[in-house]
Structure 1
């Protein structure tokens, strides 16, 4: 695995633990379909959170969330709807939301974590 792949996987693991500690149930990780991949799908209360995780060792080339342009967010919404269609029983009664988690620091375990809820 490359450094970026290893860093990304560690960041996703940290993000999943962060969500669990915040009361979310992680329903799926690295879910793939023909249209692409979702990092994390989680639920809390009546919210179904489609969560994109961005992990960077620093902000030298910009904040991790700067990678989420309008097209990427629209793609996450499309993928979220695809997940709902594939899992109607798990999504029943939930309202979908797209979130992002940024992890910034050399070691994902101790890095700064930011959870941005409700991307449009």
Structure 2
């Protein structure tokens, strides 16, 4: 009978880990001098994790977070289909905006958290992949 409760736990943990990663990615963007415009913009077609301004460049960031001991880079989870969806969603977001951008860049920020203490800021490792699809 405890099966449903167990199923809920990993999803809750996964959502929590995702939020921690997105917070770390937003902090990383700000540390680069970027202005974070939107976090978690969504519509019925999907979600954009982070939209920021790097001067006159709009940067759309996919955040991939892992809290485990695997050694693969979380960027490996960003497929060509995901990049295509990001482009489509970005066009939709831009259609709602008044400002125009000189350049648009798509980045992936891979966040690794300590498996045992994911909330420990000292255990955060960020790998920033710039221009994965321009």
TM-score (normalised: structure 2):
0.81
Matched, 1:99 2:107: yes
Deviations 1:20-72, CA, capped at 9 Å, x for gaps: 11010000000011211000000011110010101101352732111001111
Matched, 1:40 2:50: yes
CA contact (8 A) 1:80 1:96 kept: no
* Deviation by residue 1:56-93 (Cα, 9 ceiling, x = unmatched): 01352732111001111111111111111111x23x13
Q: Would you say how many aligned residue pairs link Structure 1 and Structure 2?
A: 118
Aligned to 1:74: 84
The residue aligned with 1:7 is: 17
**Alpha-carbon deviation of 1:95?**
1.4
After TM superposition, which residue ranges in structure 1, 4 or more long, deviate above 6 angstroms? none
Counterpart Cα distance in 2 of 1:104 and 1:5: 15
* TM-score, length basis structure 1: 0.90
Q: Which whole-Å CA distance do the structure 2 matches of 1:118 and 1:11 have between them? A: 20
Structure 2: 5+ residue stretches without partners: 1-10
- 1:29–1:39: 8 Å Cα contact kept in structure 2? yes
